[in-house]
Amino acid sequence: MKTVIVGGVAGGMSAATRLRRLDESAEIVVFERSGYVSFANCGLPYYIGGVIEERDALLLQTPASLGARFGLDVRVGHEVLSIDRAAKTVRVRELASGTESDEAYDNLILSPGASPFVPDLPGISRALTLRNIEDTDAMSDALAAAEASGGPTSAVVLGAGFIGLEVAENLVHRGWDVTVVELADQVLAPLDPEMSALVQARLEANGVRVLLGQSATALGASDLTLTSGETLPATIVVAAIGVRPESQLAKDAGLAVSDRGGIIVDASQRTSDPSVFAVGDAVVKVDAVDDAPTANWLANPANRQGRLVADVIAGRAQAFPPVLNTAIVGVFGLQAAATGWSEKRARAAGRAIRVIHTHPADHAGYYPGAKGMSLKLVVDAATDAILGAQGVGESGVDKRIDVIATAMRGDLTASDLVDLELSYAPQFGSAKDPVNMLGMIAENLRDGLTETIQWHELEAEVARGVQLIDVRTPGEFARGAIPGAINIPVDDLRGRLDEVDADSIVHCQVGLRGYIAARLLAGHGKRARNLDGGYRTWARA
């Protein structure tokens, strides 16, 4: 049995090595267009920034090492041009010589990844992208040349997604002036705006100029013009607007491909041709929340699918589950992470949801070094199912998002988070971990013990004349308050009930005291909605 694999990185090489482990006698040929296999895509921006110092560190394996250990026939610099599904062959060009030949297969695995989307603009040809080692070398060379010339070192990064922000940070590390241009009205689209605002602030605090709601219209030799008409100096331009599944090969071969260009596969990663499999960035995945087709450009699923497809080919039944799109990015010491759906996505889908914002510390406040974070949970109002979560902070965000992603995989409800027994010593967490706390709040909302109002709903309610009570201390109130709020500290509330309307909105700094106030008022027959996430979430958004 002979398996041919197109693409020798995350998905492709995971398939190849697993297949060898499952079948010592399989014939396995891997074609990789670029000059390298098994490289650390996710490390490329950090090599650009000098955080990863050795280029070799990016190269996890070579054709030789894979040959020695796994008996793989790995051919770099070989592009697969077409698939003859009837004959079960692929047409391959050796790029150095231009020689073409046919290679037969019993099973074919496509793991061609996704290519950076480059907008069609005047002068765009000088824009750099970052996907593989060759791109990295080219970007390194361009940066080094500009630095050596003693001329300006201004970079414009188009796109404020994960890769765009990683590149921006690393260019700053290298001492460049960096502007990020983003068409949306926020950075990091998987987050909701009041969460991504923290990331934007961190970028700006580190000297990155962030321009939202704009895009490039043309590139000059050393500048770039925006839709606003503004022209930015741009020694280099990096296009990081997004990626597109590299599915032309599949399409040309008549395999089913979605409108958005993803190769369509079943849960065994089989395409519309039973001898052809596809994995990774190039394929359509299934969304864990609504079972709809979805894109996913992440390494964990690519590796997982690569391993899985080898199992299937070796006769071991396996099914790839729907994806949560759990992702994280580091931005100047901040962690920004998400899993599942955002609020905006849930609202766009018309779901009835409950939303929770908290601002906990990564570990017990009484132990030195505790760092704040902001967490957000999106909950299905009908079922209490967790739809998604987001977190931004300096430390411990990865842990909470991973715990919630695991809870989602285990079908725990939002209220079930109360009962998670998470590890606690004061330097590592809290007796009530931030995730437990999300569960408590979710349970209170589910059971109608508390009613909240979101930051974006407040203005209209206050305009309607609803009383807004700030239950923080007079000192906090003096340092900055929401327009229209009156101040009654939570500890004075029982004595000042006559000042409180029958229907009011209460708020504190993060939501905790507001909740206590709201419960207190409920106990006295008054309706009080608590501003979710408190002043902190409101002020940020």
Ligand X SMILES: CC(C)(COP(=O)(O)OP(=O)(O)OC[C@H]1O[C@@H](n2cnc3c(N)ncnc32)[C@H](O)[C@@H]1OP(=O)(O)O)[C@@H](O)C(=O)NCCC(=O)NCCS
Ligand Y SMILES: Cc1cc2nc3c(=O)[nH]c(=O)nc-3n(C[C@H](O)[C@H](O)[C@H](O)COP(=O)(O)OP(=O)(O)OC[C@H]3O[C@@H](n4cnc5c(N)ncnc54)[C@H](O)[C@@H]3O)c2cc1C
Interface residues toward ligand Y, by CB under 6 A:
6-7, 9-12, 31-34, 41-42, 44-45, 79-80, 111-113, 130-132, 163, 246, 249, 280-282, 297-300, 302, 424-425
Q: How far is the CB of 146 from a copy of itself (least distance, A)?
A: 25
Pairing relationship of beta strands 285-286 and 243-245 according to DSSP bridges: unpaired
By beta-carbon proximity to a copy of itself, the closer residue of 84 and 106 is 106
Pair 150, 247: CB distance under 8 Å: no
Long-range contact list for 379-383, CB < 8 A, 24+ apart?
379/353, 379/354, 379/355, 379/414, 379/442, 379/445, 379/446, 380/351, 380/352, 380/353, 380/354, 381/351, 381/352, 381/353, 381/354, 382/352, 383/413
**Footprint (CB under 8 A) of a copy of itself, residues 242-281:** none
- 10 near ligand X, judged by CB under 6 A: yes
Determine which residue in the list 27, 35, 60, 541 makes contact with a copy of itself, applying CB under 8 A.
Answer: 60
- Residue 346 Cα distances to 8, 161, 162, 354, 438, angstroms: 36, 20, 21, 10, 18
**Footprint (CB under 6 A) of ligand X, residues 132-161:** none
- Give the number of other CB atoms < 10 A from CB of residue 348: 10
**Footprint (CB under 8 A) of a copy of itself, residues 399-458:** 399, 401-403, 405-407, 409-412, 416, 418-429, 431-433, 436, 440, 447, 449
Pick one of a copy of itself, ligand Y, ligand X, none as the site partner of residue 323 (Cβ within 5 to 8 A by kind). a copy of itself
By beta-carbon proximity to ligand X, the closer residue of 182 and 433 is 433
- State the Cα–Cα distance between residues 481 and 511, nearest whole angstrom: 15
- 3 near ligand X, judged by CB under 6 A: no
Query: What single letter denotes the amino acid at residue 73?
Result: D
Token representation of residue 301: 């699923």
- 539 near ligand X, judged by CB under 6 A: no
- 512 near ligand X, judged by CB under 6 A: yes
Q: Which residue is nearest to ligand X (CB)?
A: 511
Size of interface with a copy of itself, in residues (CB under 8 A): 90
Alpha helices in 54-192 (DSSP H): 63-70, 133-149, 162-173
- 300 near a copy of itself, judged by CB under 8 A: yes
Q: How far is the CB of 132 from ligand Y (least distance, A)?
A: 5
Pair 306, 279: CB distance under 8 Å: yes
- Residue 262: CA count within 13 A, CB half-sphere: 18
Q: How far is the CB of 261 from ligand Y (least distance, A)?
A: 13
Sequence-distant (≥ 6) Cβ neighbours of residue 419 within 8 angstroms: 436, 439
Interface with ligand X by CB under 6 A: which residues?
9-10, 13-14, 17-18, 21, 38, 40-42, 60-61, 299, 303, 307, 358, 431-432, 437, 440-441, 444, 510-512, 515
